[in-house]
Structure 1
């Protein structure tokens, strides 16, 4: 591993929070690449080079300042990574006074380097996995390079899979660290499941399925993850879950998960594609048809948010007048008045089953498609 100037500067910044001394970081060639004294940047430090070559602590005295190039009295300590010296960290000052800081400074520096290295590895794997899964969903045939990438990432292409698509509401852009955190929450007993960031507000879980009768297990795992996200990030999470497929049919499970997620977002819940009935059919209706149908039914009341909300709640309460009035905190006579007003404006008859279905569908399209299109536009 190379000790880059950007990382060295970061280490100086972090160390200065704990130790109020002049500090330098030197590469294996003896060049100072970060320092609290910017005048020393890029200069040669003979004491540090000695520390690199001999892999030991080097104390610089006042006498050494005249015989060694570029040094000041203080302490130089080799920085180890995987048993190799990758640089030197130094403290300027009276050796007797700063000696107690030595091991603390070295240990802190090495921990910061290890943390940076593993963070880079996580980001590298996350980017690789994201690109790999994108190809997995698109490719019709697996090429030799694709299979080699799967082996590199330790992905079993022959395993049966189930795709879970998650949406996080009002969350800042997903970071690789967020995905890593969720992976650890999920992967206590599921080491072969894959987590992939999927845009700014979504992520995928590609489950490695061992047992066909695992729906309840999946549901419990997703519930735990949903609870963790909502409690940790103070936001809502919705999940769409596709069916179990062979590895070369992953796109099919993705499309099912995407369809289920559309319904799950509306409910802020967890929806399996296998549980979809009416919703599955409605998703096949084109956007222009949805728009025209909604306009025909609701055009006369689209600006009346009170009526629209009343009948949203009406259907949520399974068309119970009593429960609808209670949910809206209105008198039941007020609800009767609103029903009559809607019937007059729309020419619907809510005692007619086809008219009730038409009203339900128009509200469904309005809430799940037209509003989203308006926001995206």
Structure 2
């Protein structure tokens, strides 16, 4: 830690508001870098040199070149001399102030150091968050160690949430929750997958044009960030009314407009269905439901089952796939998933 000229002048000015004597601040080489007398700045102070060499208070009773009568006492930071504070005047009169002035100076220096250290730490954390948010590669040991040093656990499942638009204020953040300014209109939150931050955002958001994109949970944050961005993009382009835009609900639309995406999620269900008689029964029910445009009587007659049994099967399909066959968009996804599955797996 070194005393810079700005801090030195600030110390001199503050001390001189409480004592009626000129105060000089010298660096560790004895050069005056802060003073109540601007003409003395940049000059070598012999009393300061002696105070540094002897590591004790030094009194000057006569003028020595540019050095005036007064007392000079070393300033310490972490047991190391980093400068000297001098009070001009008759030593017998000003010496009683010396210890008080030294303590005041060291408190101001410690305060400045802590502020600077905190600012550097915040800047490093912000830079790491930027790398984290946009890193597409898996995290190596070095990156994980850097995250740990910042207090960020990179091994847990995370969820990205982007708030685009206006909110009253940012919600309070809990442990392992982080915020990051993407641009002037979008704020990104990286939170654990089980976070309740959406409830906090719901309480604070009142602007009707605000969109909140929610990505899926992943240990690779950039993946969830991309999903949250896509959720907002899709919702805006299709003028969807919902404030909360879940990528999981819009994933199918993303698939339709981006052939590079994998749509194996629903296809996997059909693979599991085909492996068991009960599952095959559900596939048969779904295809019959589509064929008969949802006419429950026609479907029941064709499958030779009671309407209650049909309702139960449709409910099972919804539970297992998280898609409701009675909802057109969900039914569209189920049928598309089935077609893709059959095209890939049929010989």
Give your verdict on TM over 0.5.
yes
Matches within 5 A, 1:106-255: 106-141=102-137, 142=139, 146-165=143-162, 186=172, 190=175, 192-199=176-183, 203-209=187-193, 212=194, 214=195, 217-219=196-198, 221-222=200-201, 240=212, 242-243=214-215, 245-248=217-220, 250-255=221-226
Alignment partner of 1:86: what SS? strand
Matches within 5 A, 1:292-331: none
Q: Distance in 2 between matches of 1:200 and 1:16?
A: 44
Q: Distance in 1 between matches of 2:144 and 2:113?
A: 27
For structure 1, list consecutive stretches of 5 or more residues without a partner in the other structure. 172-181, 231-237, 265-269, 286-377
Q: State the Cα distance separating 1:219 from its structure 2 match.
A: 4.2
Q: Distance in 2 between matches of 1:105 and 1:167?
A: 52
Q: State the Cα distance separating 1:47 from its structure 2 match.
A: 1.8
> Which one of 274, 291, 302 corresponds to residue 246 of structure 2?
274
Q: Distance in 1 between matches of 2:35 and 2:153?
A: 47
Q: State the Cα distance separating 1:195 from its structure 2 match.
A: 4.1
Larger radius of gyration: 2
Number of residue pairs the alignment of both structures matches:
249
Alpha-carbon RMSD across the aligned residues, in angstroms, is 4.4
Alignment partner of 1:65: what SS? coil
For structure 2, list consecutive stretches of 5 or more residues without a partner in the other structure. 237-241, 258-347
Alignment partner of 2:63: what SS? helix
Q: State the Cα distance separating 1:45 from its structure 2 match.
A: 1.6
Is 1:65 aligned to residue 63 of structure 2? Answer: yes
Question: Alpha carbons of 1:251 and 1:98: their partners in 2 closer, same or farther (altered >3 Å)?
Answer: same
Q: Distance in 2 between matches of 1:110 and 1:203?
A: 40
Question: Alpha carbons of 1:242 and 1:101: their partners in 2 closer, same or farther (altered >3 Å)?
Answer: farther
Q: State the Cα distance separating 1:26 from its structure 2 match.
A: 0.9
Question: Alpha carbons of 1:51 and 1:272: their partners in 2 closer, same or farther (altered >3 Å)?
Answer: farther
Q: State the Cα distance separating 1:41 from its structure 2 match.
A: 1.8
Which structure is higher in helix share? 1
Q: State the Cα distance separating 1:35 from its structure 2 match.
A: 1.7
Q: Distance in 2 between matches of 1:98 and 1:240?
A: 64
Contact 1:28 1:86 in 2 (8 A): yes
In the TM superposition, what whole-angstrom CA distance separates every residue of 1:81-103 from its partner, at most 9, and x where no partner exists? 22222111222223344345434
Contact 2:218 2:224 in 1 (8 A): no
Q: Distance in 1 between matches of 2:211 and 2:70?
A: 58
Alignment partner of 1:24: what SS? strand
Alignment partner of 2:10: what SS? helix
Question: Alpha carbons of 1:19 and 1:196: their partners in 2 closer, same or farther (altered >3 Å)?
Answer: farther
Question: Alpha carbons of 1:164 and 1:97: their partners in 2 closer, same or farther (altered >3 Å)?
Answer: farther
Matches within 5 A, 1:49-64: 49-58=49-58, 60-61=59-60, 63-64=61-62
1:36 maps to 36
Q: Distance in 1 between matches of 2:178 and 2:37?
A: 46
In the TM superposition, what whole-angstrom CA distance separates every residue of 1:295-323 from its partner, at most 9, and x where no partner exists? xxxxxxxxxxxxxxxxxxxxxxxxxxxxx
TM score, norm. by length of structure 2: 0.55
Q: Distance in 2 between matches of 1:133 and 1:123?
A: 15
Q: Distance in 2 between matches of 1:207 and 1:136?
A: 13
In the TM superposition, what whole-angstrom CA distance separates every residue of 1:39-85 from its partner, at most 9, and x where no partner exists? 22222222222323333333x24x3434xx64222232322222222
Q: Distance in 1 between matches of 2:93 and 2:186?
A: 53
Q: State the Cα distance separating 1:186 from its structure 2 match.
A: 3.8
